[in-house]
């Protein structure tokens, strides 16, 4: 297996965790390159369900090295809870997990700022995990990295500077209690003692691994349409969830990447606010949400659901350089009489075949659909493409033709074995 980037090609929640779990056995290193614990990857192994927010899901495979790259923002408390959860289930972490020493650290004041800003804006749909404010500090060059946390002299100076800047904002603008330097210093010094053993120079580690012909799987969080540059701005996350984020978030150059694989659901979902052209009416929404278990792995929030939007996914294919597609949750559509695919948008008499950057157009457009007959058969036990109902094959073929990208895997359930290749 070459060096592969796994990309969510919709608004996240496409089933990347399961797909990474499938690709991981052939990889030597699995690397998370952006986001924080605002994302969740779910993997079902027999009766066990693992929801991972920071640690790459390749940790579930023995002997694999997992790296949290410099592009990730790390909440130490959440990380330690995740490590504890894995160890209780018999998953060895020590010696297999490494964290970039230049990854930025989330602090309580980041979470509080996230919460307060959401109360004011009321329309972005943040998870209130402190992700955005932490990235803001990173860009403003006032952030605290893992390397800083592990050097107490540097940590003290940077923490004091941050609180000197932010405490007046809390007390004078938001009229809430200021944060205590001593309390945060004590709490995070404790974290430093526990996570310091995972710190590494991940840029050197990964590039040395590539020189030794090791195989690397790059794992993103969220999805392309939540990318801060290429998504439905401002209803996006605070990092680059696209393939480019794998480069900046790890320090591995683009010439070292062999393939980009895009993950899409057989329909479309998103969590939080923002435009969603193909969103279902309530009756269909309730049906698909219930059958697909469409509730956020991180927040538990019900996901919005809609028909497959080829305009969105073609945009993802373009900006990521996606060469192969994996379709998940085909089985959720098993009971439908007919199924729609959005092929373009219409707004004020103009037809849009490409994804519009104007948020007003995207919010007000009407999807133009093709309608196909459903297959009305259970696909959850199917183990080969050749055994799919005829209409299911036609549906997948039409998606493949619209995207001009080969579908290489199809998933018909949450378990490892409910996946087959290829068309």
Q: Do 297 and 405 fall into the same domain?
A: yes
Tell me, what CATH number does 381's domain have? 3.90.170.10
Q: Do 236 and 350 fall into the same domain?
A: no
Q: Do 284 and 305 fall into the same domain?
A: yes
- pLDDT value for 128: 83
CA angle 192, 70, 213 (to 5 degrees): 115
Tell me, what CATH number does 179's domain have? 1.10.300.10
331 as an active site residue: the answer is no
- pLDDT value for 202: 97
Q: Do 285 and 400 fall into the same domain?
A: yes
Looking at 13, 75, 114, 309, which residue is catalytic? 13
Last residue of a domain, one of 144, 170, 195: 195
Q: Do 94 and 172 fall into the same domain?
A: no
Q: Do 269 and 400 fall into the same domain?
A: yes
Q: Do 245 and 208 fall into the same domain?
A: yes
- pLDDT value for 46: 67
Note whether 28 and 215 are within 8 A (CB): yes
Q: Do 270 and 353 fall into the same domain?
A: yes
Rounded average pLDDT per 10-residue block, the chain, 423 residues = 92 90 93 88 72 88 95 97 92 95 98 85 71 96 98 98 97 96 98 97 98 96 95 94 97 97 97 94 94 79 94 98 97 97 97 95 97 97 94 97 97 89 70
Range of the domain at 393: 264-420
Q: Do 109 and 153 fall into the same domain?
A: yes
Q: Please count the other Cβ atoms lying within 10 Å of the Cβ belonging to residue 417.
A: 10
CA proximity to 72, closest of 236, 207, 221: 221
Last residue of a domain, one of 245, 260, 275: 260
Looking at 21, 41, 75, 331, which residue is catalytic? 41
164 as an active site residue: the answer is no
Tell me, what CATH number does 21's domain have? 3.40.440.10
| Helix, strand, coil percentages in the chain from 3-state DSSP, rounded to 5 | 40, 20, 40
Backbone angles phi, psi at 278, to 5 degrees: -100, 20
- pTM of structure: 0.93
Which secondary-structure segment (H or E) carries 318? helix 310-320
DSSP 105: E
Q: Do 269 and 298 fall into the same domain?
A: yes
Dist CA 322 CA 246 (whole Å): 13
Q: Do 191 and 204 fall into the same domain?
A: no
Overall domain count for the chain = 3
Dist CA 165 CA 370 (whole Å): 54
Last residue of a domain, one of 195, 222, 249: 195
Q: Do 308 and 334 fall into the same domain?
A: yes
């Amino acid at each position: 297996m070459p060096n592969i980037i796994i990309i969510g090609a919709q608004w996240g929640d496409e089933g990347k965790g399961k797909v990474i779990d499938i690709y991981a056995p052939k990889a030597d290193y699995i690397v998370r390159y952006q986001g924080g614990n605002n994302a969740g990857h779910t993997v079902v192994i027999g009766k066990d369900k693992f929801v991972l927010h920071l640690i790459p899901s390749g940790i579930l495979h023995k002997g694999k090295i997992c790296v949290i790259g410099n592009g990730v923002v790390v909440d130490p408390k959440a990380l330690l809870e995740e490590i504890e959860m894995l160890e209780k289930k018999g998953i060895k972490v020590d010696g297999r997990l490494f964290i970039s020493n230049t990854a930025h650290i989330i602090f309580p004041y980041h979470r509080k700022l996230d919460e307060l800003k959401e109360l004011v804006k009321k329309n972005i749909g943040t998870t209130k995990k402190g992700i955005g404010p932490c990235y803001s500090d990173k860009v403003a060059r006032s952030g605290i990295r893992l390397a800083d946390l592990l050097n107490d002299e540097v940590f003290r100076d940077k923490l004091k500077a941050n609180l000197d800047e932010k405490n007046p904002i809390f007390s004078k603008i938001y009229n809430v209690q200021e944060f205590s330097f001593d309390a945060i210093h004590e709490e995070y010094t404790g974290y430093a003692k526990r996570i310091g053993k995972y710190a590494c120079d991940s840029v050197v580690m990964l590039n040395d691994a590539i020189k030794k012909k090791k195989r690397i799987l790059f794992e993103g969080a969220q999805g392309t349409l939540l990318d801060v540059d290429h998504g439905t701005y401002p209803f996006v996350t605070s990092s680059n969830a696209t393939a480019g984020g794998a480069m900046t978030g790890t320090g591995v150059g683009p010439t070292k990447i062999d393939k980009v694989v895009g993950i899409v659901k057989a329909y479309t979902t998103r969590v939080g606010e923002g435009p969603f052209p193909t969103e279902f009416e309530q009756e269909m929404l309730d049906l698909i949400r219930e059958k697909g278990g469409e509730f956020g792995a991180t927040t538990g929030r019900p996901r919005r659901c809609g028909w497959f939007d080829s305009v969105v996914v073609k945009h993802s294919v373009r900006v990521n350089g996606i060469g192969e597609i994996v379709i998940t949750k085909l089985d959720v559509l098993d009971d439908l009489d007919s199924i729609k695919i959005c092929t373009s948008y219409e707004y004020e008499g103009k037809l849009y075949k490409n994804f519009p950057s104007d948020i007003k157009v995207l919010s007000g457009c009407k999807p133009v659909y093709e309608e196909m007959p459903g297959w009305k058969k259970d696909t959850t036990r199917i183990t080969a493409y050749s055994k799919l109902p005829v209409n299911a094959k036609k549906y997948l073929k039409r998606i493949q033709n619209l995207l001009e990208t080969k579908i290489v895997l199809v998933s018909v359930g949450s378990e490892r074995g409910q996946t087959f290749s290829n068309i």
